[in-house]
Structure 1
Amino acid sequence: MRALELGTPGGLREELNSLVLAGRKTATTGLLAEYVEETEGLEFVGERLALLDDDGRAVATVEITGVDLTSFAEVTWEHAAAEGEGDASLEDWRAGHRRFWEREGTPVRDGTALVCLTFRVVQAA
């Protein structure tokens, strides 16, 4: 089973995992370039992934319910809201994600290719 590691290690990952386990976070977004760099294939609908904590332990099993390739500018409010991180608007979501990726060394533009995943928890660890 492949793994899903949300955010970056530390407080962010812990917070995001808590949102998933509480049922508030049912989506996430990644950079397509990272899939290419890591030579990792895209997730597929029905695939089950181990949701990992900072120590590599599974905290849940999630099942992918949707995979959408899109650009940064075309992410929908429906997807952004499903990320469950408390953004009040699509503009807030965009600003927060731009800051996150810039801190990680990958500034995004409107045309930056993204992978938008939706999922559901099938089993908590």
Structure 2
Amino acid sequence: MAADKETVMKEIKAYVRNNMVNKVIDALAQLPEPPSVAAVPLETYGHGVIDDAYGRLRMTKLEVDIADARVGEVVALIEQAAKTGEGHPGDGRILITNVEAALRIDTGERDEEALK
């Protein structure tokens, strides 16, 4: 089940501070045809601002699957809503990857239609 060559879809993964999740989701909800968002609480380990001696940082990963044409507006909105003031370490990251195919289980819709 490969995506048609003209169909281009992306997955946006945004790792944001827990206290910014509602602000980001509320901003996305204001878009015309707002995208679906999955929110996954998690702990990251690494550099930057940490919550404890183990280097743990509690964040939420937001996942948005969307047509390529909408990526710019969605990424800009997430960046703006997730940024604290002038920006601080630990505000998070946004990653964008290709989605090869999509299938909506209940209707059988595929690719961009399945993302609506």
TM-score in terms of structure 2 length: 0.31
TM-score in terms of structure 1 length: 0.29
User: Hey, which of these two has a bigger chunk of helix by percent?
Assistant: 1
